Amino acid sequence: MSSKISGCHTRQLDGNDCGVACVSSVLKYHGLYYGIDYLRDLLNKKNEYTIKDLISIFTSFPCFTTKAIQIEENKSEETFKNIEMPCIALINKNNEGHYIVIYAVEKDKLIISDPLQEQTNKLSLDNFEKSFSGIALIINKNETSLNKVSYSGESDKFKKLSFFKDLTKGNKLFFFFIFLFSLVVVILTAAASLFLKLIVDLIIPNNLNETLSFLAIVFLSIALVRVFFDYFRNIFIIKLAYKLDERMADNYFDKIINLPINFFHNRDDGEIISRFNDSIHVRNIFSTNIVTAILDLTIILGVGFTLYLINNILFLTVLLPILFLVTIAVLFYKILNRRNERLMISQSVSTSYLVQFLKNMTSIYSFNKKDYFRHSFKKVYSKQLKATLNEEKMVNLNQMLNQLVKGLFFVIILWVGAQQVINDSITIGTLLVINTLTMFLLNSLERIIGAQSEIQKGLVATDRFNSILNYPVYFKGNQPIDKKIQKIDIENFSYSFDFFDRIFENVNLKIEQNDHVLLMGKSGVGKSTFAKTLVRLYEIPPSSIFINNQDALEFNVKSLREKILYLSESPFLFKDTIRENLCMGEQFTVEEIRSACDISEISDTIFSSELGLDFVLNENASNLSTGQKQRLYLAKSILKKPDVIVMDESLSNVDNELFEKIHWNLKSLDCIIISIYHNAGDIKKFNRILELNDKNIIEHESYAYSTGS
């Protein structure tokens, strides 16, 4: 099996990811490194991926063309030898569909990548035929287009190395001092072990009272110095942990705020939070485990060499438990890795469930469903507890075997050492020193092995954390919008989440300055999707939306969203004063704030309070009604003086009288207003009436549009 094929394997993250994992493996084979996280987001679904879905993912990469074929029974070998490889095959596994990648045919075996396995392996053609459904996906590549791909990424190995290298950047001095101080502590501890040898072999036999006092003072001084060095070493470890936490948090949030909106739509809150919490395990690898492991390895080599010089028979006796302990570590590596991964996934599921549980307590209380959600959470949390139990059982077994080896060989070493003393090969003092050094060596080895679980947990956490940091982000357009938006032209605009089922197609529309547009349509026809494409929350095809006669893709997103504001029906308000919620770091005068609040009809609510703008909102502004939150949210958008405001049901909880007042007030603004509502009862406030129906936008005759009608 070639090294190229062996490195092209992606394990699935859960039971539904086998198809996406296969796509990732095929892309790796062609030098494109895209993780499951990114590929899943190319589809508007989370599970039950069909061949059609896999074709849809490959359609996102113009360098590939795909074709699904039906292979006749017992014709697999002949077919695979005559098509471009690798391909993806659908097999039956445990009475369910399962995807695998087939890389090559070697004699009567297939080289495959099964996402359920740890690595690529071989499968006999006979066994394959028994489970093969007959359906395969051929993937043809275009070398010319492949060379033009703007992002290819790095292999998982290089991603991890780059991540670790970035973390150590600027912290090398901390690592140096931690290692140096640790080395001093080790040397002083080893030196302290000589005290007992000197007492037994020198002081007591020769009755050296004065020398004893001198040595006692010397070794007391050594103990004090060791404590101080240990203290300062821990100070450096704490500071290093702080700097690592700060850097990882900065990297994480810098990435999060640049991710596409569908990333958040396709993930639970708890999953994103748990990925951030994984940084704790990553930090522990660097701040303690790796430094300690390097130090302990140095101790093992140094003490081992010292023991060899003192007595080679005892050295060989000490070597045996080291080999046993290393063997145990190797045997438990993959098992602990899988258990850690399952535990982290179950923790993210529990966190997600708890977050949505806490966010919706009002509904839970009003429906009297406290018991239902308590039992539901218990069911979810029990899976986490089971994963924790399985991991701790395995860690406990690992530790028990280590303790067994250590305990047995402690006796064996003393046994062999005593024989050496009886044979006059060594003195009793030397035996005591050897015993101390041996325990020192075994303790170092035990720490390395004891850190195995934490290091593996950290490596799994690194993969999960990196899946966010390495998520591909494309920034199209770099021009700012310098002029006021006078018009928006939409030409032959079609949009689909999966390249097959279009939400709307060939839409043509012109929106001009000061238009007040109403977009109507039934639920689920794509009104919100259309609105979000205007601010590029969803990416759009080239030459489909033009702003002031220029392709919208030529403008940078930040500038575009300064000019066009999208308001959803769920206002974003946070725990702070009303002033801070309205300004969000910008400076506005009280007159500007009051003017915006007057237009959105929220002034009375704010300024009738003694605290006024200094009134503190609870989390999610739970101390305001939904209608008040929506009006405050509108005031926030008016303060930014945009050229276009897109209101997607953003006043859905405002009563009719206020609703009408607000829309008449909005006429005073020199901007385009695009409103999306289900209810067409107040269409007289708009000069243009649009309806999204049957995948297209139809314009209806508008009512009179004047301040008095």
The predicted-structure confidence for 196-227, as pLDDT tens digits, reads as follows: 777 777 777 777 777 888 888 888 998 899 89
pLDDT bucket at 685, cuts 50 / 70 / 90: confident
> Identical fold at 1-143 and 487-700?
no
Would the pLDDT of 356 be above 50? yes
Rounded to whole angstroms, how far apart are CA atoms 269 and 264? 8
Rounded to whole angstroms, how far apart are CA atoms 302 and 300? 6
Q: Are 485 and 564 in contact (CB under 8 A)?
A: yes
Distances (CA, A) of 132 to 64, 91, 114, 434: 24, 4, 13, 63
pLDDT bucket at 702, cuts 50 / 70 / 90: low
Q: Which residues, 6 or more positions from 606, have their beta carbon under 8 angstroms from its beta carbon? A: 578, 597, 612, 613, 615, 632
The lowest-confidence range among 86-95, 105-114, 495-504, 619-628 is 495-504
Would the pLDDT of 165 be above 90? no
DSSP result, 430-466: HHHHHHHHHHHHHHHHHHHHHHHHHHHHHHHHHHHHH
Would the pLDDT of 709 be above 50? no
Rounded to whole angstroms, how far apart are CA atoms 452 and 397? 13
Mean pLDDT over 457-479 rounds to: 80
The lowest-confidence range among 437-446, 541-550, 596-605 is 437-446
Number of CB atoms found within 10 A of residue 177's CB? 17
| Sheet strands side by side (includes 550-551) | 502-512, 487-496, 545-547, 550-551
**Helix and strand tally (H, E) in the chain?**
27, 16
pLDDT of amino acid 3: 58
Average pLDDT, the chain: 83
Would the pLDDT of 367 be above 60? yes
Angle, helices 428-469 vs 209-256, to 10°: value is 10
Better-predicted residue by pLDDT, 50 or 189: 50
Of 13-27, 317-331, 437-451, 542-556, the range with the highest mean pLDDT is: 542-556
Better-predicted residue by pLDDT, 674 or 310: 674
540 — alpha (psi -120 to 50), left (phi > 0) or beta? beta
| C-alpha dihedral sign at 116, 122, 128, 133 | positive
In this structure, which amino acid lies at residue 80?
Answer: F
Better-predicted residue by pLDDT, 518 or 403: 518
The catalytic position among 18, 22, 63, 87 is 18
pLDDT of amino acid 706: 40
The residue with tokens 């039934």 is 522
HEC assignment per residue over 125-156: HHHHHHHEEEEEEEEEECHHHHCCCCCCCCCH
The residue with tokens 């909005």 is 666
Mean pLDDT over 96-114 rounds to: 89
User: Which structure tokens are listed for 355?
Assistant: 């977050």
Phi and psi angles of residue 75, each rounded to the nearest 5 degrees, phi first: -110, 10
Question: Which among 156, 667, 99 has a CA at the least distance from the CA of 460?
Answer: 156
Distances (CA, A) of 614 to 366, 605, 611, 634: 32, 13, 5, 19
User: Which structure tokens are listed for 239?
Assistant: 């500071």
Q: Are 222 and 192 in contact (CB under 8 A)?
A: yes
Which H or E element spans position 334? helix 312-359
pLDDT of amino acid 313: 83
Classify 412 as helix, strand or coil: helix
Indicate the pairing of strand 550-551 with strand 132-141: unpaired
Residues in the chain: 709
Tell whether domain 1-143 is in CATH 3.90.70.10.
Answer: yes
Indicate the pairing of strand 96-106 with strand 502-512: unpaired
Q: In the chain, pLDDT over 70 holds for what percent of residues?
A: 92
DSSP state of 617: P
Which H or E element spans position 656? helix 656-666
Q: How do residues 493-537 score in pLDDT, each as one tens digit?
A: 998 887 778 888 899 999 998 889 999 888 888 899 999 999 998
Better-predicted residue by pLDDT, 359 or 400: 400
Better-predicted residue by pLDDT, 509 or 466: 509
Tell whether domain 487-700 is in CATH 3.40.50.300.
Answer: yes
User: Which structure tokens are listed for 7?
Assistant: 């490195």
Would the pLDDT of 704 be above 50? no
Domain segments of the chain as ranges: 1-143, 158-470, 487-700
Rounded to whole angstroms, how far apart are CA atoms 578 and 603? 12
Rounded to whole angstroms, how far apart are CA atoms 598 and 602? 6
pLDDT of amino acid 671: 92
368 — alpha (psi -120 to 50), left (phi > 0) or beta? left
Q: Which CATH class is domain 158-470?
A: mainly alpha
CA contacts within 13 A on the Cβ side of 705: 16
Number of CB atoms found within 10 A of residue 93's CB? 13
Distances (CA, A) of 184 to 176, 177, 285: 12, 10, 22
User: Which structure tokens are listed for 588?
Assistant: 């506005």
pLDDT bucket at 60, cuts 50 / 70 / 90: confident
Q: Which residues, 6 or more positions from 321, have their beta carbon under 8 angstroms from its beta carbon? A: 405, 406, 408, 409, 442, 445
Q: In the chain, pLDDT over 90 holds for what percent of residues?
A: 17
Would the pLDDT of 673 be above 90? yes
Number of CB atoms found within 10 A of residue 196's CB? 16
Q: Are 5 and 25 in contact (CB under 8 A)?
A: no
Q: Are 453 and 213 in contact (CB under 8 A)?
A: no
Would the pLDDT of 557 be above 80? yes
Rounded to whole angstroms, how far apart are CA atoms 545 and 209? 96
Rounded to whole angstroms, how far apart are CA atoms 661 and 459? 58
Rounded to whole angstroms, how far apart are CA atoms 300 and 294? 10
Q: Is 18 a catalytic residue?
A: yes
pLDDT bucket at 674, cuts 50 / 70 / 90: very high
pLDDT bucket at 298, cuts 50 / 70 / 90: confident
| Sheet strands side by side (includes 516-520) | 564-567, 644-648, 672-676, 516-520, 688-693, 696-700
